[in-house]
Structure 1
Amino acid sequence: MLKAKERPVPAVSRLAEFLKGRAVLLEYLVYAVCGFILSNAFLLGQLAPFGVSFTAAGKKDRTTAAGAGALLGYLFSFHPENNTRYIAAVALAIAVKWFLPQQMMQKYHRWMAPAIAFGAVFLPGAALASLRGYLLYDVVICLSESVLAAGTCFFFYRAAEALLRREKLATLNGKDVSCLTITYALLVMALGSFVVGDVSIGRVVAVVTILLAAKCGRESGGAIAGVTAGVTMGILGGDFSFLAAAYGFGGMLAGMFAELGSVVQALVFVMVNGLTALIMGSEYQAYSVLYEIFLGAVLFLLIPSSAVRSLIFWGRQRSDAFSKTAREVVLSKLKFASAALSDIGETTRQIYQKIGAAKSGTMADVFGTSADIVCKSCPQKSVCWGEQYHSVMDGFNNLTEVLRRNGKVTAEDFSGYMGEHCTGKWELANEICTGYERLSGRQAARAQAQNLRGVVTDQFQGMSGMLDSLAQELTGIEQAEFPLADRISALLDRENFSPISVSAYTDQTGRLTVEAAIPSFKLARMNQTSMTLWLSDLCQRKLQLPAVSEVENASHLRWIERTAYAVETAKIQHSCDGQNVCGDALEEIWDGRGRVHLLLSDGMGSGSRAALDSAMTVCLLKKLVTAGFSFDSSLKLVNAALLIKSEEESLSTVDVATVDLYSGETQFLKAGAAPTFVYRDGSVVKVEASSMPAGILKGVDFAKRRLKLHEGDWIVMLSDGMLLGGSDWIFDQIKLSAKKSAEELAQDLWQTAQKRRPDGHDDDASILVCKIVDKR
């Protein structure tokens, strides 16, 4: 039997594996080189803590490489006489990074690295100052240098994170760009110390980066890079302060001419800086700067155009423009559809009112039609409808009450002239009964149709309001954070949650919202607390636990920034006469938008029917409000649902308190509900309004009121079963229990209400209390 030959590994795969292994080594080499360069960045000719800062900024596995480079840089420095304390500081930073628990480093990583940098620079500096007797000058220098090390460590940390994400410059936020700019400035300053002949490597690198920035970022990019590099050269020392103006102005002009090509751009920069050097610099400085500018321009032109194009960040701008256009189109469509639905509802109502008025039947029509049929062949017609007209009409009018009372008339019901002289009253009675039955049927059908038309009209207006709510929510989105959404998606995918969709955006107040959808079966294994902490670190915002909703086998999670306030709630319910169910329904809704909605609904009567109406009202409102629709539009749909739920009369009150947990602004909405009591600033306010409950009339609306609440304020919502003994006692009871917990306040109110019930009368009763808590 022949042995099968092993299939050779393709050369491409071997090369990929080789590069993959070398990529890690290359990353460590970059850290070592940067550490070496930054250790030679001397501020004002004597302060050089930047190698220590860079060592402390790296993660644990990269600290050794950065520290090795920094140690070599301090050992072979251009100013080695004062570097002993920096060498000790680097060794101390490496030791601390390696021996601190990894869990602590991850938990407090944002400020742990700057703290290590501060301590590593301060301790050797303080020891050296002690040898000199703690002179004030030495102490101030030591503290200043330690603070500088901590600050630059933070910049290095953020810059390294931004680069490791491998994002284009345009997708970075302002803070990351600032940290990259400062890191670039320090690297240029460090490279400025490396001189080959009369040429400074730092200034050559500065020229190349200024031209690249001008090519990618046009005028603003070139000017920012130029001013940064020029100021850095001035801080480095020597009489090169004129470079700040030369580099800045030259970078701006190079950006303006970038559209004409790299050659024109480089020539403009060389001309501006060459003239500035010849006019403002000495002869030695002029020639040095000219050499450096020329060399930097040549190196810039040698960079492949494909590499330059990869730095140009038009992709984000086009994406933003497309997103903005798409949002405007969607908003326009939503508003148009909302207006159209509202117009349909209003037009339907107006047309029906006109047609209904034109076709409405009356008792006069019944009597007139009956008289036409019976009296037209009667020989006494001219007498009855002539000289006895008023007597005949009185007789017909007298039959109206009989018809309404009995539903029919007989010949014996005729009175007066008609009872004595009418020879066809038996036939006339039969015709009147027939006509009245037809009239009653038409009126019943018309009433039913009117109710249905009213329900449909309410539904049109409710849907119109819903579309308007969606439009308002979209309008509130200020900016979509696409790069952040990509990073969040990568995090969820790395944790094996298989995200279906991820979005991140800021609203008009600058607050961040993160939304993600994952398969429902994966939600159970998510530690929402840990995930919230990870996302907070990733987004650099304090987020709170997500609001979760289920839609089509997907779990939708919504994270928002941490609110200023929280609420402490308690509820008590009592069933009338010990029945199994209570006719009231309570609900506390967190909508995932920084608001909490407190709902109380009281169904008509008590028992199962009342419980069904109130539970249906609360359930529908919860679903609609959680989906992002307003209470006004939701109430119209709930009202329509109650009207068509059954042939029996159904109604329920709606009591809502919506608390904005960012500002404390609270809105109270009432539809036939009992008063709400608000404890604020040591006094109790009664919030009540006249409005109809849902399910009894078409076109029901909320009565509204707004109040501003703060820490320690209370909201007390009650059903009418709590007010059988009046409401005056509630003011004093809330004041007496205001310092207690929510559960204790609810119990105090319930016990007092029981004692004040008149004649032992019982009813369904509910209490929902809410305390505003400051969690800042």
Structure 2
Amino acid sequence: MAVKWKTKAAQVGEELGQTGRVVLRAPALARGAECLMRFMLGAVLAGGEIFGGYAPFGIGLVACSGSGMDGLCALLGACLGYLTFRGFVEGLRYAAACVLVFSVAFAFYDVRLYQKTWFMPLVAAAMDAVTGFVYLSDARWRPAQVVFFATEILLAGASAYFYRTAFSPWTQKREDSALTTRQTVSLFLLLGTLLVALAGITFWGDLSIGRLAAALLVMAVAHEGGLGLGAATGVAAGLGMDLAAGGAPFYTMAYGFSGLLTGAGWKQGRLFGALTYVVTNAVAVLWTWDAAQRVSSLYEVFIASVLFLLLPQKLTRRLSALLTREGKQDTARRAAAYVRDKLSATAGAFRTVCEGLRSAFPPQGPNDGDVSSVFDRTAERVCQRCALRNTCWEHDYVSTYNALNDALPTMLERGRGEAGDFPGWFASRCLQFPAFLRTANEEVTALLYRRQYQNRVRENRGAVCRQYEALADVLSTAAVELSAELTPDPLREKRLRQHLTALGLEGETAVYYDELGHLRAEVAGDGLEVLREAAELRKLSDLMGLPLRLAEEDTADRVTFLQAEPLMAVAGLAARRKEGQTESGDTGTWFKRSDGSLFVLLCDGMGSGAAAQRESALAVRLLEEFLRAGLEAAAALRTVNSALALRNEETGAFTTVDLLRLDLFTGGGEVCKYGAAPTYVKRSGVVSRITGAALPAGLVDGDGVGPDVTGLALGPGDCVLLLSDGVADASDDQWVRDMLAQFDGVSPKELARDIMAESEKRVGAADDRTAVVIRIGRR
């Protein structure tokens, strides 16, 4: 720190030597204003006296200000205030406590312990106790003074803690300007102790600046915040004034009663609120007239009401914004409804586009693809100037038509015509037969190209419509999920809040059941790392009465706990590349979604090597993204198949797809296949085989093209075996069934390795081979 100040002093000296002046820049002016504020607050809070002789608030400010320039300015202000308001003897005791607090902060500022939120409050309380012990000993430890002294020690530490929280929005330089509940409460406590300090400053006889400001504050809060806030602020402000006066709780009653009635009519206008407060306070004074005549309170409240009526509208609006607390659950519900409606409308728009395209696209192409056009076009090109044109196409039209019609099927099947395809009489009579045959072959080729092009156009149009339809389904599913009512669990949420309080943590909590009826607990706030520890997770599971696990999508300031699934899956994998290849064309993965769905994917690209690996990896990546996004398995497979089919037009590649989905809450699931090898399921000791007739993904696409889907219902001890094409011969796979039937369930990896070894003996290494074993168990 000394080096830092020496560097700044050297910079100022160099600037002064070069320019002959020192220019104060905006940061320096802001820093000077902060230091001046700390100095003034220290001087004022040092004058805050309670119980007729105790002043802990200046010590608290020094403790919260730290060891830098802020702390030094607060120390100087507090010492000045104590010596001014308390006199030399009494003030020296508090000034000594402030010096000790600052010294500890200066000595420990770079120690890790100093960063703890409780360290400086504890130091403030300890230094106040040490310096006040001698003075209390001279008073012979009378019970009343012991109670007051203990309260002063407690308030010294508490004020240090809350003052530091109140200053945190400015010292931490956070981009978020909204105050948290703790910061708002701390700011009001700082303001309340300032009022206590100002209560001892009087003018015009017995009128107190602190009581006048307190009355104005209660009046403004009651008018803007309503009945509850008005009564609470009145009681708090009155309690502070009574502590400063050291008498009966008159101001607590008067301010609380006035705030209650003023807040009850908070919608009646500012003049009505001011009159209500003045009249109510006057009634309170009259009620206690015999005990103590507090005429000064009438004048203070009257002056406060005039100031209240003169307050700028902009200031009262800012106060109202600070006091207003919007219902977060209602806001979230409205936001979800808005997003749901937008998604539903967008899904409807995509469906309208899809229907419009389907109606606009003709089911068949134009008549340009009709086979009859082959010889019509040929005749136009060859027979137009022939001498026998009228004989062939008018007098002998039927004979000519039959001869050409008989030759056409052979020409289309072969792709071109030959002289032998036509009757001998036709070939001998035709004067330009070689040209006729050559032109007819050109028209046949053109016809086949037109048919191929029209089929490609229809396929592409169908793919576009299916993509729009799939996108509409995705948006509709998301809208349904947003419209699902989430059931809150207030009892468990209360337990969670209590547990966080016991850990010294603060944050927003939510405990509810999702659309599937599974429990979710969310905590948002700072310092939540402890909640991610395994021991703490076990405690929370016991507290909630359900097993919990951490969600994968957690962030630094948000932790989400999900209800753990009763079932678990243990996977074993073994793979071998084709002999002579450096890369395998098989690609697989498994992952679990937040709703408890387990997905296992195995794709086998066409052929082997790098090209096959690219195709299978692309299919796995696309499917994983769609499935993680929440799309249903069959819909995700159809979407990926369409995308791969469009890609196949350029690359000519395709891939098989084997997909296992399993709900770890219920054990239900399904196996989806696009041209994949058989899947083997062992359930209750019985092995069954699941096959499919669908072609590999990307090979063909259309409205009726979809995956083979087979439902499953599994429980603890059951197994699923997924294989790629090269592992076993489809006509001789009994050995696979036998090995799965004899599997004891101990090590899925060992079974996968044994299957791979047996496959090499029986089939060899002529293809890429992969075996994935999934064993279901109870968590």
Q: CA deviation at 1:23?
A: 1.0
- Residue 606 of structure 1 corresponds to 608
Aligned partner of residue 606 in structure 2, secondary structure: coil
Indicate conservation of the 8 Å contact 1:606/1:764, yes or no.
Answer: yes
Q: Distance in 2 between matches of 1:659 and 1:126?
A: 70
Indicate conservation of the 8 Å contact 1:75/1:83, yes or no.
Answer: yes
1:521-566 per-residue CA deviation (whole Å, 9 max, x = no partner) reads xxxxxxxxxxxxxxx9996665999xxxxxxxxxxx9866345599
Indicate conservation of the 8 Å contact 2:225/2:324, yes or no.
Answer: no
Indicate conservation of the 8 Å contact 2:63/2:120, yes or no.
Answer: yes
- Residue 746 of structure 2 corresponds to 736
Runs of 5+ in structure 2 lacking a partner? 1-17, 379-390, 431-435, 487-506, 513-522, 533-553, 730-734
Indicate conservation of the 8 Å contact 1:465/1:630, yes or no.
Answer: no
Aligned partner of residue 364 in structure 2, secondary structure: helix
RMSD: 7.3
2:357 alignment partner AA: T
Q: Distance in 1 between matches of 2:283 and 2:260?
A: 12
1:108-150 per-residue CA deviation (whole Å, 9 max, x = no partner) reads 4445445555766788899999999x99999999999877766
Aligned partner of residue 577 in structure 1, secondary structure: coil
Aligned partner of residue 726 in structure 1, secondary structure: helix
- Residue 484 of structure 1 corresponds to none
Q: CA deviation at 1:29?
A: 0.9
Indicate conservation of the 8 Å contact 1:584/1:600, yes or no.
Answer: yes
Greater Cα shift, 276-285 or 71-80: 71-80
1:759 alignment partner AA: R
2:583 aligns with one of 557, 581, 591 = 581
Indicate conservation of the 8 Å contact 1:35/1:69, yes or no.
Answer: no
Over 3 Å counting, the alpha-carbon distance change for 1:8 and 1:288 in structure 2 is same
Q: Distance in 2 between matches of 1:148 and 1:708?
A: 63
- Residue 768 of structure 2 corresponds to 764
Q: Distance in 2 between matches of 1:131 and 1:707?
A: 83
- Residue 102 of structure 1 corresponds to 110
Q: CA deviation at 1:290?
A: 1.3
2:237 aligns with one of 229, 232, 237 = 229
Indicate conservation of the 8 Å contact 1:195/1:201, yes or no.
Answer: yes
2:187 alignment partner AA: L
Would you say 1:561 and 2:558 are equivalent positions?
Answer: yes
- Residue 532 of structure 1 corresponds to none
Greater Cα shift, 611-620 or 45-54: 45-54
Over 3 Å counting, the alpha-carbon distance change for 1:347 and 1:65 in structure 2 is same
Q: CA deviation at 1:643?
A: 1.4
Q: What pairs up with 1:240-255 in 2 under 5 angstroms?
A: 240=250, 241-252=252-263, 255=266
1:73-112 per-residue CA deviation (whole Å, 9 max, x = no partner) reads 7778889999999888756543432222526257x44454
1:256 alignment partner AA: K
Over 3 Å counting, the alpha-carbon distance change for 1:447 and 1:625 in structure 2 is same
Q: CA deviation at 1:642?
A: 1.8
Q: What pairs up with 1:422-571 in 2 under 5 angstroms?
A: 443-464=451-472, 561-562=558-559
Over 3 Å counting, the alpha-carbon distance change for 1:297 and 1:142 in structure 2 is closer
Indicate conservation of the 8 Å contact 1:185/1:232, yes or no.
Answer: yes
Would you say 1:336 and 2:345 are equivalent positions?
Answer: yes
2:283 aligns with one of 275, 281, 293 = 275
Q: Distance in 2 between matches of 1:81 and 1:706?
A: 87
- Residue 256 of structure 1 corresponds to 267
1:96 alignment partner AA: V
Q: Distance in 2 between matches of 1:560 and 1:701?
A: 43
Q: CA deviation at 1:408?
A: 7.9
Q: Distance in 1 between matches of 2:744 and 2:83?
A: 74
How many equivalent pairs are there?
Answer: 661
Q: What pairs up with 1:118-267 in 2 under 5 angstroms?
A: 153-162=160-169, 164=171, 171-189=178-196, 191-192=198-199, 198-213=206-221, 222=230, 224-230=232-238, 232-233=240-241, 238-240=248-250, 241-252=252-263, 255-257=266-268, 260=269, 265-267=273-275
Indicate conservation of the 8 Å contact 1:227/1:247, yes or no.
Answer: no
Q: Distance in 2 between matches of 1:254 and 1:50?
A: 35
Indicate conservation of the 8 Å contact 2:169/2:177, yes or no.
Answer: no
Over 3 Å counting, the alpha-carbon distance change for 1:686 and 1:103 in structure 2 is farther
Aligned partner of residue 756 in structure 1, secondary structure: helix
2:166 alignment partner AA: A
Runs of 5+ in structure 1 lacking a partner? 1-5, 386-391, 479-504, 511-535, 546-556, 739-744
Q: CA deviation at 1:64?
A: 4.5
**When the two structures are superposed, what TM-score results if normalisation uses the length of structure 1?**
0.59
Over 3 Å counting, the alpha-carbon distance change for 1:616 and 1:308 in structure 2 is same
Over 3 Å counting, the alpha-carbon distance change for 1:36 and 1:615 in structure 2 is same
Structure whose CA Rg is larger: 2
Q: Distance in 2 between matches of 1:701 and 1:771?
A: 28
Over 3 Å counting, the alpha-carbon distance change for 1:265 and 1:448 in structure 2 is same
1:540-596 per-residue CA deviation (whole Å, 9 max, x = no partner) reads 665999xxxxxxxxxxx9866345599999987642224122213457999999999
Aligned partner of residue 256 in structure 1, secondary structure: coil
Aligned partner of residue 257 in structure 2, secondary structure: helix
Q: Distance in 2 between matches of 1:684 and 1:72?
A: 90
Indicate conservation of the 8 Å contact 2:223/2:262, yes or no.
Answer: no
- Residue 357 of structure 2 corresponds to 348
Would you say 1:60 and 2:70 are equivalent positions?
Answer: no
Greater Cα shift, 323-332 or 717-726: 323-332
Aligned partner of residue 602 in structure 1, secondary structure: strand
Q: Percent identity?
A: 24
Indicate conservation of the 8 Å contact 1:543/1:560, yes or no.
Answer: no
